[in-house]
Chain A
């Protein structure tokens, strides 16, 4: 099973809302990632969790708050977002930090009104 699942598939929220994106993998991977992708651009790394600890934060604004409740789950909590935060949010996982590929989920299409 090389599947990473993400919910919801689509999300529309206002600038005052609080919402969460969820990601799950059951491949036993120990590294999990959040990416943001704008149209016609490559994915941009936001956060990396390694063994359930935050190891990289790519200077992401605090209105994005990641959480890794256990080795299979990754959340991204959203609060007071701006319209320019509208994008495809991708979760990925990999066995670890070595020469391993990252497996991506289908993404959550987020629209901020």
Chain B
């Protein structure tokens, strides 16, 4: 079975802190994604990566950056966390374009 893991289930950070959210997949998938999930808005794509060191902006990239130094790991970085970044963050991966996306359990981030 495909396994996508995220470093934390719950995280509390202060405004202005630099925050790292880590995602690891164990199936040698090419594509990895970061989504943000908010009530009433569904999931929105922040960034995705189709290969090591390659990234593309999604629909809401402002205030975020990403890093993919190894194929299995995709990090989401909040350079200076703000309260409006309080949300559930979901990572996903897929083998190639057109294949099913597999999701991680999510990280619920609270910025105070």
Q: Do A and B bind each other?
A: no
Interface residues in chain A, defined as those with a beta carbon under 8 Å from any beta carbon in chain B: none
